[in-house]
Amino acid sequence: VPKVSQEHLDSRRAQILDGARRVLAKHGYDGATIAKIVEETGLSRGAIFHYFHDKKEILVALGAEVSERYVEAVTTGGFAEAIRELIREDPELLAVLIETEARLSHDEDFVQRLAASSAAFLPTFGAWIEEQQAAGALRDDVDWRDIGRFANIVVNGLALRIVRSEETDVEVITRLLEDAIRPKPPA
Amino acid sequence: VPKVSQEHLDSRRAQILDGARRVLAKHGYDGATIAKIVEETGLSRGAIFHYFHDKKEILVALGAEVSERYVEAVTTGGFAEAIRELIREDPELLAVLIETEARLSHDEDFVQRLAASSAAFLPTFGAWIEEQQAAGALRDDVDWRDIGRFANIVVNGLALRIVRSEETDVEVITRLLEDAIRPKPPA
Amino acid sequence: VPKVSQEHLDSRRAQILDGARRVLAKHGYDGATIAKIVEETGLSRGAIFHYFHDKKEILVALGAEVSERYVEAVTTGGFAEAIRELIREDPELLAVLIETEARLSHDEDFVQRLAASSAAFLPTFGAWIEEQQAAGALRDDVDWRDIGRFANIVVNGLALRIVRSEETDVEVITRLLEDAIRPKPPA
Amino acid sequence: VPKVSQEHLDSRRAQILDGARRVLAKHGYDGATIAKIVEETGLSRGAIFHYFHDKKEILVALGAEVSERYVEAVTTGGFAEAIRELIREDPELLAVLIETEARLSHDEDFVQRLAASSAAFLPTFGAWIEEQQAAGALRDDVDWRDIGRFANIVVNGLALRIVRSEETDVEVITRLLEDAIRPKPPA
DNA sequence: ACATACGGGACGACCCGTTCAT
DNA sequence: ATGAACGGGTCGTCCCGTATGT
């Protein structure tokens, strides 16, 4: 199947990423072997290495993808809505999120390759929080960075829980999160 | 056929766990190979397999350890203090926490073996929260389980951040956590 | 659908052989991958497989080429001059010579394909030696075949040395070779 | 089979080298795969990698071995006798010689590792030639280094021939070699 | 108690050659 | 005629766990 339309190429690439995402969600980072991705996608190893130079590149692509979607969701509908959307849209995204985040603590190479792929989301993110503070939707007695960090912490921790399929009432958790970052009533 | 003292045995075991903890923190779950633990501890493969039946048993022991310490710290000094203590005592514990938690989503075998090792903390945990609610130290308009879950979520998320050595003001984070779970003022 | 001239075809073929010769000299027989030849020539895989049926055919062509040039050089100017010329003209030819010769000991398929390509030089070669013996330029107390073999041995061994860029005084070596095969003075 | 006598260890190592030598002779350097060595020795991959860190180390050991034997044979009985002995003792040694020598032109890593393994023969070699010159057994109108080089060239070239099982009268070749390096009669 | 030889299995990388669209 | 997509195969490396000694 040579020299083919751009849509075909894109769909092949997406096909690989889809399979890899499922495998990553089911077996974790190191359990996501090429063989399993081959099996899941139905493609051959040759095909996969044609689209991605090595295995890590696939995982980096998945990590960048979830990172992008998360920032977009937050800046569109706020933290609570972003959490709901990530869960709703594709639970496997949460697994990708966790595996990616955990991978960042060791594997310096992964850090750099992911950074190269997913740059430029953070600025948007920060700007959005400051905007919300100015509009009185978020407390402004703490630095916007800390609000962002706290929210991310909760999102990551929550994802970790859900991925382990532990019973969790997402609505309650988001309510508690909002309680933590909503503007404080004047004493 | 040396027949050594019990203290010797315990110290050997602790020595292995210490080395394994460092290796786990540095290289992650799958990167923590027996060879690296051998290198780190200075013991031989034979010694290690003498004290632990297989590699997973080592990781299970580490997971149970951190789990136990966490519950103990919380029930002693509350969430904020527990977080500070974990960080202070041994940053590697946080890495163990993350690797363990992440592992729980796949690897069903690991889940069961860890459960078998670290049972019996949860009851204590729940009882403590209810106690705090009764004493007016924690809000009681949400179920105690949700409070525990939220706190765990924050702790895990925070650990994930710290492990990646991202800049984090722990005091601010704990304050936000406390704001979320403190009793609500009457409207 | 170009339909190009014969010269174009020939030059393309030569271009591939040139690149392949460099790659072979630098990386050895098995290190000479299609990918490297692609890189070296600037052509595409498709182009290469269009002109040569498979990888081995390229190497066979290179082997036949050096074989032909060697015989031609010897019959033109004698062994000493042939050695000098091979070195002067293209040091990579020596590498091709070595890789080819070494390959002949295993890889029966290569032997046959090369033989098919480079037949018909040997007769010329033998005839030339006998001629030289008759003219008193080469000793005739040993069979002409042995003289040819000895000279080839020296040429091969010398090529092996030069290819490894070990310090070698070619003039001295050729002098010693000539001493070995020059007519013996009557006792 | 753990913790075993030194003889056992040595014999296992020799067993691996024997198998590897046969494989190398039959299939060439790159054709000498671990799988073939496994098959030839009857051992497992685990066993092999227990004795040798990687594949190249095996080949380096073989190269050093033949190098050592060659120098020893020459300094014991002279070039002609050394050639006969190498052929007689184990024809596979000649294949090892060729594959090793050819490998030296590319693969810089191999060069260094072999040099590290087979150092310290050359001095002996040089000393022996000078001794022979002083004793009038070798011509002294050319530098001893060039005599050594020429002899090596012939040995290598001859090995290349024999390895390819081409018809060769070794006695004649050695006679020609001796003619080249014997003392010149006074004019 | 501890050290090590060893088996066996798996994984990632790579490469060749074919097929097919320009 | 050229080049990309792709299949399928194989190789070297590494690692775990067991068995067997000291």
> CB–CB of A157 and B161 under 8 A?
no
pLDDT at D1: 54
- Confidence label for B172 from pLDDT (cuts 50, 70 and 90): very high
Which of A75-84, C7-16, C114-123, D93-102 is predicted with the least confidence, judged by mean pLDDT? C114-123
* Residue B59 and residue B100 in contact, taking contact as beta carbons nearer than 8 Å: yes
Could you check: is the Cβ of residue D46 within 7 Å of any atom of nucleic acid strand E? yes
pLDDT at B95: 95
**Neighbors of chain B with 3 or more C-beta pairs under 8 Å:** A
Give the best residue of C160, C171, C182 to mutate against chain D (max D CB count within 10 A): C160
- The rounded mean pLDDT for chain A is 90
Distance C55 CA to E16 C1' (A): 8
> CB–CB of A104 and B164 under 8 A?
yes
Q: How far is CA B143 from CA A134, A162, A164, A171, B148, in A?
A: 33, 18, 21, 13, 9
Mean pLDDT of A151-155: 95
Using CB atoms, which residue from D149, D160, D180 is nearest to C101?
D160
Interhelix angle C55-89/C122-134, rounded to 10 degrees, is: 30
Residues C103-145: pLDDT tens digits?
Answer: 999 999 999 999 988 776 777 888 999 999 999 999 999 999 9
- Confidence label for A3 from pLDDT (cuts 50, 70 and 90): low
* Residue B146 and residue A87 in contact, taking contact as beta carbons nearer than 8 Å: no
* Closest residue of chain D to C155, computed from CA coordinates: D157
Using CB atoms, which residue from B154, B155, B179 is nearest to A179?
B179
Is the pLDDT assigned to residue A33 strictly greater than 70? yes
Spatial distance between the Cα atoms of B122 and B114, rounded to a whole number of angstroms = 13
pLDDT by residue for chain C (187 residues), tens only, comes to: 345 567 777 888 999 999 999 999 999 999 999 999 999 999 999 999 999 999 999 999 999 999 999 989 999 999 989 999 998 888 899 999 999 999 999 999 999 999 988 776 777 888 999 999 999 999 999 999 999 999 999 999 999 999 998 999 999 999 999 999 999 876 5
* Residue C163 and residue D105 in contact, taking contact as beta carbons nearer than 8 Å: yes
**CB proximity list for D39: less than 8 A, separation 6 or greater:** none
Find, among A70, A81, A87, the residue nearest to A122 by Cα: A70
Protein residue nearest nucleotide E3, by CA to C1': B46
B131-144 per-residue burial string, b: 16 or more CB within 10 A, e: under 16: ebbeeeebbeebeb
pLDDT at A89: 86
* Closest residue of chain B to A95, computed from CA coordinates: B105
Distance A9 CA to E20 C1' (A): 15
- Confidence label for D187 from pLDDT (cuts 50, 70 and 90): low
* Residue A30 and residue B29 in contact, taking contact as beta carbons nearer than 8 Å: yes
DSSP-assigned states of every residue in C41-69 = H---HHHHHHHSSSHHHHHHHHHHHHHHH
Spatial distance between the Cα atoms of D142 and C175, rounded to a whole number of angstroms = 10
The distance of C26 to chain D (nearest Cα, Å) reads 6
pLDDT at A25: 95
> CB–CB of A173 and B26 under 8 A?
no
Q: How far is CA C171 from CA A80, C168, D67, in A?
A: 85, 9, 26
Nearest nt (C1') to A44 (CA)? Answer: F7
pTM of the predicted model over 0.85: yes
Cα Rg, chain D, nearest whole Å = 19
Mean pLDDT of B177-184: 91
- 3-state SS of chain D: helix, strand, coil percent to 5? 80, 0, 20
Is the pLDDT assigned to residue A69 strictly greater than 50? yes
Residue identified by tokens 């002899």 is D151
**CB proximity list for D57: less than 8 A, separation 6 or greater:** D113
Could you check: is the Cβ of residue D53 within 7 Å of any atom of nucleic acid strand E? no
* Residue C86 and residue D6 in contact, taking contact as beta carbons nearer than 8 Å: no
Spatial distance between the Cα atoms of B19 and B36, rounded to a whole number of angstroms = 9
Spatial distance between the Cα atoms of D97 and B99, rounded to a whole number of angstroms = 52
Find, among D23, D36, D11, the residue nearest to D62 by Cα: D23
Amino acid at C144: W
> CB–CB of A177 and B180 under 8 A?
yes
**CB proximity list for C90: less than 8 A, separation 6 or greater:** C21
Residues D14-70: pLDDT tens digits?
Answer: 999 999 999 999 999 999 999 999 999 999 999 999 999 999 999 999 999 999 999
pLDDT at C1: 37
Cβ burial, residue A15 (10 Å; 0-12/13-18/19+):
middle
Residues D104-161: pLDDT tens digits?
Answer: 999 999 999 999 887 777 788 889 999 999 999 999 999 999 999 999 999 999 999 9
Which of residues C187 and B112 earns the better pLDDT score? Answer: B112
Distance B51 CA to E1 C1' (A): 10
pLDDT at C2: 46
pLDDT at B37: 96
Q: Is A4 helix (H, G, I), strand (E, B) or coil?
A: coil
The distance of B105 to chain A (nearest Cα, Å) reads 4
Max intra-chain CA distance, chain D: 70
Q: Dihedrals φ, ψ of B85, to 5°?
A: -65, -45
DSSP C183: P
Interhelix angle A144-163/A122-134, rounded to 10 degrees, is: 120
Spatial distance between the Cα atoms of A73 and A181, rounded to a whole number of angstroms = 18
* Residue B184 and residue B141 in contact, taking contact as beta carbons nearer than 8 Å: yes
* Residue B142 and residue A176 in contact, taking contact as beta carbons nearer than 8 Å: yes
Find, among C70, C88, C87, the residue nearest to C79 by Cα: C70
Pair of tokens at residue C63: 């082997």
Could you check: is the Cβ of residue D150 within 7 Å of any atom of nucleic acid strand E? no
Spatial distance between the Cα atoms of D105 and D81, rounded to a whole number of angstroms = 28
Neighbours of B75 (CB within 10 A): 17
pLDDT at B6: 75
Amino acid at C112: Q
Nearest nt (C1') to D42 (CA)? Answer: E7
Spatial distance between the Cα atoms of D84 and D63, rounded to a whole number of angstroms = 19
Distance D46 CA to E3 C1' (A): 17
* Long-range contacts (CB closer than 8 Å, 24 or more residues apart) made by B16-19: B16/B41, B16/B43, B16/B47, B16/B48, B16/B51, B16/B52, B16/B58, B17/B58, B17/B61, B17/B62, B17/B65, B19/B43
Mean pLDDT of A145-154: 94
**Terminal Cα-to-Cα distance of chain B (whole angstroms):** 73
Query: Which chain A residues are closer than 8 Å to B143 by Cβ?
Result: 172
- Confidence label for B187 from pLDDT (cuts 50, 70 and 90): low
Is the pLDDT assigned to residue A1 strictly greater than 60? no
Q: Which helix (H) or strand (E) holds B180?
A: helix B170-181
Spatial distance between the Cα atoms of C129 and C136, rounded to a whole number of angstroms = 11
Q: How many helices (H) and strands (E) does chain B have?
A: 9, 0
pLDDT at D3: 58
- The rounded mean pLDDT for chain B is 91
Bases along strand E below 7 A from a protein CB? 1-22
* Residue B23 and residue B30 in contact, taking contact as beta carbons nearer than 8 Å: no
Spatial distance between the Cα atoms of C96 and C183, rounded to a whole number of angstroms = 32
* Residue A82 and residue A74 in contact, taking contact as beta carbons nearer than 8 Å: yes
Residues B79-106: pLDDT tens digits?
Answer: 989 999 998 988 899 999 999 999 999 9
Is the pLDDT assigned to residue B1 strictly greater than 70? no
Spatial distance between the Cα atoms of B75 and D30, rounded to a whole number of angstroms = 64
Is the pLDDT assigned to residue D2 strictly greater than 60? no
